[in-house]
């Protein structure tokens, strides 16, 4: 989690005085927590067809409930901050009437409130499933989590462009599916056999995510910048360039993992400690990029 705010801080160094907004620190926590919820659900899907699951569904509910509850809290903070900014007042002096108008009359407010409802519903459902030791499918939770993840991004600058919201949705969800399942694997997978089963499937999924992220990211950059010179002349461009360079580094790391870590784990030659270490390295790098992305969303 520390890597996310570090990414925001690095973006501030690159972009000042153009941004980012201080809310980016909360935003990156919300994005990482949302990816974690979606990743825990995806981890279950990665085990489909296995007679004996490496992670039984009953073990998913507790971390799902905790992550979703924290996610809901961050969404509340972001909604209050956005309402205060719209009302041109401090969050501590925001009146109930001003907050109500923001939620009831402005699309960003309505979508933010919807995200809170979704995340709170996930937390309650997961808590109930944990208490009952339920074997429910988390697929419906994944769908609700995806909707909550998209609430803020689809109202950004790309929403004014043809197919812009679709590109942003694809970019947001594939980023979450790249980070989330790997984080869930690091939290819950134990033993060489578990990694041998799940890691190859995750690796195939991650490369599909990389392809979609690259295409949608280039399209977003072309619209937002308008020219190559803006990559160095503007704060937004410099943060975007840093994000692109980090993505290139992650692609190189993923290629190395597929040549070495994945084959070794698949054949039970990679100790659990090595898999946990490698997963932690990539999760940390991805969280840093999430910090850059959160900062980019609030940089002028």
Handedness of CA 3, 9, 14, 15 (dihedral sign): positive
Domain harbouring 212, CATH code = 1.20.1630
Position 161 confidence tier, pLDDT thresholds 50, 70, 90:
low
Task: Establish if 265 belongs to a structural domain.
Answer: yes
Question: Which position has the token pair 């503007």?
Answer: 234
Beta carbons of 238 and 163 less than 8 angstroms apart: no
Q: Which domain holds residue 38?
A: 3-295
Task: Establish if 198 belongs to a structural domain.
Answer: yes
* Residue 71 CA from chain centroid, whole number: 11
Mind listing the pLDDT tens digit for each residue in 27-52? 999 999 999 999 999 999 999 877 77
Task: Establish if 180 belongs to a structural domain.
Answer: yes
The span from the CA of 153 to the CA of 176, in Å, is 13
Task: Establish if 243 belongs to a structural domain.
Answer: yes
Task: Establish if 271 belongs to a structural domain.
Answer: yes
Position 300 confidence tier, pLDDT thresholds 50, 70, 90:
low
Beta carbons of 54 and 197 less than 8 angstroms apart: yes
* pTM (global) more than 0.85: yes
**Sequence-ordered list of residues with C-beta below 8 angstroms from that of 167, at least 6 positions apart, any chain:** 158, 216, 219, 220
- pLDDT surpasses 60 at 297: yes
- pLDDT surpasses 70 at 292: yes
Which tokens is 45 given? 């899907």
- pLDDT surpasses 90 at 299: no
Position 167 confidence tier, pLDDT thresholds 50, 70, 90:
confident
pLDDT at residue number 195:
95
Task: Establish if 300 belongs to a structural domain.
Answer: no
Task: Establish if 256 belongs to a structural domain.
Answer: yes
Mind listing the pLDDT tens digit for each residue in 121-157? 999 999 999 999 998 999 999 999 999 999 888 776 5
**Sequence-ordered list of residues with C-beta below 8 angstroms from that of 198, at least 6 positions apart, any chain:** 43, 46, 47, 54, 185, 189
Position 69 confidence tier, pLDDT thresholds 50, 70, 90:
very high
Task: Establish if 211 belongs to a structural domain.
Answer: yes
- Mean pLDDT score, 279-293: 96
| Cα distances (Å, whole numbers) of residue 111 to 75, 82, 203 | 11, 12, 33
Please tell me the total count of domains within the chain.
1
């Amino acid at each position: 989690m520390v890597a996310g705010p570090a990414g925001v801080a690095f973006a501030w160094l690159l972009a000042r005085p153009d941004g980012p907004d201080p809310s980016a620190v909360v935003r990156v926590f919300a994005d990482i927590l949302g990816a974690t919820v979606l990743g825990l659900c995806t981890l279950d899907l990665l085990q489909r067809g296995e007679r004996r699951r490496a992670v039984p569904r009953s073990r998913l509910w507790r971390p799902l409930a905790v992550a979703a509850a924290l996610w809901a809290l961050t969404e509340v903070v972001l909604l209050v901050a956005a309402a205060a900014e719209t009302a041109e007042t401090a969050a501590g002096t925001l009146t109930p009437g001003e907050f109500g108008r923001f939620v009831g009359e402005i699309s960003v407010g309505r979508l933010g409130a919807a995200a809170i409802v979704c995340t709170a519903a996930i937390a309650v459902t997961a808590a109930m499933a944990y208490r009952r030791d339920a074997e429910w499918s988390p697929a419906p939770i994944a769908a609700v989590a995806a909707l909550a993840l998209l609430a803020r991004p689809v109202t950004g600058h790309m929403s004014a462009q043809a197919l812009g919201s679709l590109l942003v949705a694809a970019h947001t969800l594939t980023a979450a599916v790249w980070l989330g399942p790997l984080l869930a694997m690091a939290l819950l997978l134990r033993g060489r056999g578990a990694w041998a089963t799940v890691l190859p499937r995750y690796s195939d999924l991650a490369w599909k995510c990389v392809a979609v992220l690259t295409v949608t990211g280039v399209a977003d950059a072309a619209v937002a910048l308008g020219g190559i010179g803006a990559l160095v002349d503007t704060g937004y461009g410099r943060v975007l360039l840093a994000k692109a360079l980090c993505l290139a580094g992650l692609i190189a790391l993923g290629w190395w993992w597929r040549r070495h870590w994945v084959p070794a784990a698949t054949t039970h030659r990679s100790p659990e400690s090595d898999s946990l270490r490698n997963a932690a390295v990539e999760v940390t790098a991805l969280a840093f990029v999430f910090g850059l992305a959160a900062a980019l969303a609030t940089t002028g």
